Amino acid sequence: MYSIFNQDHGLAIKMGVPYVFRFRPPNKNTLDELKENYIWFSDRDSLNDELDSNPEFVKLSKHPLELKLLYNTVAESMLDPRTKEYFDRNMTPEKLQEFATTKIKPFVSSFGIACFTMYPMNKKLWEIYSENNKGVCLHFDSSDDPTFFHNILPIHYVSEIKEREYSPISQSDHIIDLFYKKTEDWSYEKELRLLKDRTGRINFKPSSLLNVLIGYDAEADFINQVVTTVKEHYKNVKVFQVTGPVSIGKLSYKPLYIPK
């Protein structure tokens, strides 16, 4: 049996940059993700915090210059002369802003979100996201796949989520900030968030997965399926099982599968 705080041996679970952890429940989707080496990126409507990345907190800028830039950008995309003429004749700044506002929600929902954490010694994460210690915690080296893990960033926890003004033309990337703020109620997660420009399954390099930690209360059948999947689809990934309840000051584990 090993302690996560003993880092002086070959079976150590490395922590700190560039290592990241992802908790998953004991189900078919988790096994499929392991088998096919992908992570599922959800849209913001699938998140368990209604304030998280909520487009209701985004308000379009009413600055005249920004509205003019928006007008010019939309107008330039119109190739049909009759459509362009109708647009020029009828699209007031007020109507343009109203039209643009309707596009904020689908724009926000088009992004894919995957959640990670900095450390695996987190009792609540094992309980909530690994179904009461019955699932797994995946241990990645983000530096091994810099393309996939590009721009993985920590969540900034704030006392309240406030409205933000969005300038879609002059500051098109500013809306990204919406995805990296949560209230302090969630600060225990120590979340790292990875954002993609689409939802759904996106593959990672198999070599970036280092270890699979299985919860101490996992059922034997799930344990066997995890070990079999890792053996069949990864060359160097090790499988461990946590040996008891986890806390900030404690995480012990035992090896279940060590590749030769």
Q: Taking the alpha carbons of 173, 179, 183, 186 in that order, is the dihedral positive or negative? A: negative
- Contacts of residue 83, defined as CB under 8 A and 6 or more positions apart, other chains included, come to none
Q: What are the residue boundaries of the structural domains of the chain, listed by start?
A: 2-54+108-257
**pLDDT score of 236:** 95
**pLDDT score of 54:** 82
Least Cα distance to 117 among 135, 139, 132, 148 occurs for 139
* Helical spans, DSSP H, in 110-251: 123-128, 220-233
Supply the pTM of this predicted model: 0.84
Ramachandran class of 195: left when φ > 0, alpha when ψ lies in -120 to 50, beta otherwise: beta
The pLDDT tens digits along the chain (260 residues) read: 899 988 989 999 999 999 999 999 999 999 999 999 999 999 988 888 888 888 887 777 677 776 666 666 656 655 667 666 655 666 666 666 666 667 678 878 888 999 999 999 999 999 999 999 999 999 999 999 999 999 899 999 999 988 877 766 566 556 677 889 999 999 999 999 999 989 999 999 999 999 999 999 999 999 999 999 999 999 999 999 999 999 887 999 999 999 98
